[in-house]
């Protein structure tokens, strides 16, 4: 989409969207002056800290520092990209967006997605044919009913060598089907044949519900391999996808947790049994990309794996990327020989719910999990007794230390450390020393874009460089703490939005009028340019800077305010700040004078009294109140 047209479309959609109505559909809002307040939908709280300011078309949470405009709210609430949020709000407002200009790369991806979508339709129709009787019998024997098979678009690949290829030949060139991994070129180069034959097919979709590839299970005795995935293609990267994600996303949002298992049939069984927040990996161990995907969804994760040695090792390997991504994790291992599908068929949903209540946190899993067979890495590592032995206590503690070292959030790390000390019966100081020793080489998190990181969003020379989707605020752990002085905050807000206030503060010294370092860093670029931010630059700041949102959320616009009135208000605020600082300095000197009197330090006493007299005189000339003598 042309940048100018894209900006115009975004502004039209934003202007047409009532931010209070949009957010009010999901958050119970109450008017508070010219703003609205409610409980934040993105973190747990008892006292409302979530503020919607309709005059500025922004929302901000003072508890978790998330915030932004209407697009940021939809992106955060529905876990969608900016283009998806733009489309959703445009549809809501009845606005037709301009067609996006396509690149050759976009078109190539679209052809692969189209090929997979057509293949899905073919496999779905094939499952209903007479030839699919054995496939339907297999699924029925496993207890899967048609409504759930339809929900997950399960299909069947016919037994022949060219059923799919022939069906799609008039719609797609063989080259595209080969690139999508649907057909395979013959070794002698004489043609192609279907990759999937006589298998139950499970379409694997992206988060945007586009079919990226397939997982396939053999149903004939002796047909190997039992499971076969699409090959890696430009759109099918199985380490970046989670099976069932588009279907599970509402359940995840409702429960605040994702259940992650290992099998396609496990996911369908879990959903059919009421666990609608279940997804699975695609035939691989849980990867860092999948962990980051779950982190972006802002949910906790429960790893639900088989209780055999392979399940123990898989759960253990999954802890590293999840903790490094900042995800809270629990682990539930089913009885040996059971997977979620078989357990639910035998024991029922109630039995699984009971077990979920007792799922292990990370320290408990590291301390308690056991292998029955050959040892491996991590919890399943080789113990003192050699291969086949479980780890020693020391090895388990070291494993926990290694996991704690992957956690960037100091609060989360400390809470797990404390829990680990309880589980292993150790002093907290022992684990702290171990983690600190290991942490000397630990990767340091890159600072997010924001105030105080050396990259000031919306600063002069940077306006217009932000991406269209940059409206999502960083989480609280990434955000600069909001200064606590309300007078400084109001003055900063007026400097950002009022020409008169900006001019007055610039005349009186610019950034030196502020004690707060974050406020200085926010405003210094504008004082350096000698001008107040433009409206588009303010919008960029609101999109990227939690500090700016926190300032302006409590300072509604005042239309019709003259430059003279703005300068006078700014001057009064500066005087109030100076009076408070003088009073604070006098209090410090009073304490020092008492100390000098007690110690009979005559030299210091005289100097301190003189300093106090000088400050009291300055306060007297600035304040209408009597000076402190």
For 49-53, 247-251, 555-559, which range has the lowest pLDDT when averaged over its residues?
555-559
Sheet holding 278-280, edge to edge: 278-280, 257-261, 300-305, 329-333, 360-361
Q: How confident is the model at residue 384 (pLDDT cuts 50, 70, 90)?
A: very low
25-40 confidence digits (pLDDT tens):
888 898 888 789 999 9
pLDDT higher than 60, residue 480: no
Q: What is the CATH number of domain 238-444?
A: 3.40.1360.10
Q: How confident is the model at residue 159 (pLDDT cuts 50, 70, 90)?
A: very high
Query: What is the arithmetic mean of pLDDT over 361-382?
Result: 70
Domain boundaries, the chain: 3-93, 103-236, 238-444, 572-629
**The token pair that represents 585 in the structure block:** 């300095």
**What is the Cα Rg of the chain in Å?**
31
| Residues linked to residue 201 through DSSP beta bridges, in sequence order | 155, 216
Per-residue pLDDT, 565:
86
Question: Rounded to the nearest 5 degrees, what angle is found at the Cα of 284, between the Cα atoms of 298 and 78?
Answer: 25
- Please choose, from the candidates 510, 506, 518, 512, the residue with its C-alpha nearest in 3D space to the C-alpha of residue 545: 518
pLDDT higher than 90, residue 338: yes
269 neighbors 338 (Cβ within 8 angstroms): no
Query: What is the arithmetic mean of pLDDT over 360-371?
Result: 92
Any idea which fold 103-236 has?
A: DNA primase DNAg catalytic core, N-terminal domain (3.90.980)
The residue that leads in pLDDT, 428 or 119, is 119
Sorted by sequence, the CB contacts under 8 Å of residue 293 that are 6+ apart come out as 207, 240, 242, 245
pLDDT higher than 70, residue 373: no
pLDDT higher than 60, residue 385: no
**The token pair that represents 41 in the structure block:** 């939908």
Q: Parallel, antiparallel, or unpaired for β 199-205 and 30-32? A: unpaired
* Dihedrals phi, psi of 155, to nearest 5 degrees: -135, -170
pLDDT higher than 80, residue 472: no
The residue that leads in pLDDT, 240 or 472, is 240
Task: Evaluate if pTM is beyond 0.95.
Answer: no
212-229 confidence digits (pLDDT tens):
999 999 999 888 999 999
DSSP state of 29: -
- Please choose, from the candidates 65, 53, 35, 41, the residue with its C-alpha nearest in 3D space to the C-alpha of residue 547: 65
| Residues linked to residue 199 through DSSP beta bridges, in sequence order | 157, 218
In angstroms, how far is CA 200 from the centroid of its own chain? 34
Torsion angle, alpha carbons of 556, 559, 560, 562, to 10: 40
Crossing angle of the two packed helices 3-16 and 70-78, in degrees rounded to 10: 90
- CATH architecture, range 3-93: Alpha-Beta Complex (3.90)
Q: Parallel, antiparallel, or unpaired for β 329-333 and 300-305? A: parallel
Sorted by sequence, the CB contacts under 8 Å of residue 215 that are 6+ apart come out as 201, 202, 204, 227, 228, 229, 230, 243, 264, 282, 283
pLDDT higher than 60, residue 462: no
| Helix, coil or strand: residue 399 | helix
**The token pair that represents 137 in the structure block:** 């019998």
CA distances from 25 to 114, 246, 269, 390 (A): 35, 22, 32, 53
114-147 confidence digits (pLDDT tens):
999 999 999 999 999 999 999 999 999 999 998 9
């Amino acid at each position: 989409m042309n940048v100018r047209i894209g900006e115009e479309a975004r502004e039209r959609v934003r202007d047409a969207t009532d931010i209070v109505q949009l957010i009010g559909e999901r958050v119970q809002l109450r008017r508070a002056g010219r703003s609205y307040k409610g409980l934040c939908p993105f973190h747990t709280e008892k006292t409302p800290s979530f503020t919607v300011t309709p005059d500025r078309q922004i929302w901000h949470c003072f508890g978790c520092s998330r915030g932004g405009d209407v697009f940021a709210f939809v992106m955060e609430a529905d876990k969608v990209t900016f283009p998806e949020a733009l489309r959703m709000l445009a549809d809501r407002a009845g606005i037709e967006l301009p067609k996006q200009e396509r690149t050759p790369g976009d078109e190539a991806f679209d052809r692969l997605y189209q090929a997979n979508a057509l293949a899905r339709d073919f496999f779905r129709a094939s499952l209903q044919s007479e030839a699919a009787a054995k496939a339907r019998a297999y699924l029925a024997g496993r207890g899967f009913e048609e409504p759930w098979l339809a929900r997950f678009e399960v299909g069947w690949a016919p037994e022949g060598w060219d059923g799919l290829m022939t069906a799609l030949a008039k719609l797609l060139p063989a080259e595209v089907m080969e690139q999508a991994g649907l057909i395979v070129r013959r070794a002698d180069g004489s043609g192609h044949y279907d990759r999937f034959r006589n298998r139950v097919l499970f379409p694997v979709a992206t988060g945007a519900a586009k079919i990226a590839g397939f997982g396939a299970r053999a149903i004939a005795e002796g047909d190997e391999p039992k499971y076969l995935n699409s090959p890696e293609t430009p759109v099918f990267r199985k380490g970046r996808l989670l099976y069932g994600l588009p279907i599970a996303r509402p359940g995840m949002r409702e429960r605040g947790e994702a259940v992650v298992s290992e099998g396609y049939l496990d996911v369908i069984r879990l959903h059919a049994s009421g666990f609608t927040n279940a997804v699975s990996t695609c035939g691989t161990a849980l990867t860092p990309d999948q962990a980051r995907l779950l982190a972006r969804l802002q949910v906790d994760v429960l790893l639900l794996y088989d209780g055999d040695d392979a399940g123990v090792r898989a759960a253990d390997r999954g802890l590293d990327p999840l903790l490094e991504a900042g995800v809270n994790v629990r682990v539930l291992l089913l009885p040996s020989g059971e997977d979620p599908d078989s357990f639910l068929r035998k024991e029922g949903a109630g039995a699984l719910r009971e077990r979920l209540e007792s799922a292990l946190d990370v320290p408990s899993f590291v301390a308690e999990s056991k292998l029955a067979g050959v040892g491996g890495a991590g919890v399943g590592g080789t113990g003192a007794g050699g291969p086949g032995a479980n780890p020693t206590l020391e090895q388990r503690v070291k494993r926990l230390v290694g996991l704690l070292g992957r956690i960037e959030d100091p609060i989360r790390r400390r809470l797990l450390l404390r829990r680990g000390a309880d589980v292993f019966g150790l002093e907290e100081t022992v684990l702290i020393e171990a983690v600190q020793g290991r942490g000397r080489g630990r990767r340091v998190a890159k600072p997010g874009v924001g105030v105080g990181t050396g990259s000031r969003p919306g600063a002069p020379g940077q306006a217009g460089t932000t991406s269209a989707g940059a409206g999502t605020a960083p989480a609280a752990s990434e955000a600069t703490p909001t200064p606590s002085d309300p007078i400084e905050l109001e003055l900063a807000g007026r400097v950002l939005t009022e020409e008169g206030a900006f001019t007055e503060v610039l005349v009186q010294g610019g950034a030196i009028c502020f004690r707060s370092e974050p406020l200085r860093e926010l405003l210094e670029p504008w004082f350096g340019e000698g001008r107040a931010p433009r409206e588009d630059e303010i919008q960029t700041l609101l999109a990227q800077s939690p500090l700016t949102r926190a300032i302006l959320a409590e300072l509604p616009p005042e239309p019709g305010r003259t430059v003279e009135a703005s300068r006078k208000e700014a001057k009064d605020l500066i005087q109030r700040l100076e009076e408070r600082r003088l009073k604070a300095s006098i209090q410090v000197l009073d304490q020092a004078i008492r100390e000098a009197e007690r110690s009979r330090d005559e030299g210091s006493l005289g100097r301190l009294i003189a300093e106090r007299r000088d400050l009291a005189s300055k306060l007297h000339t600035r304040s209408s109140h009597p000076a402190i003598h």
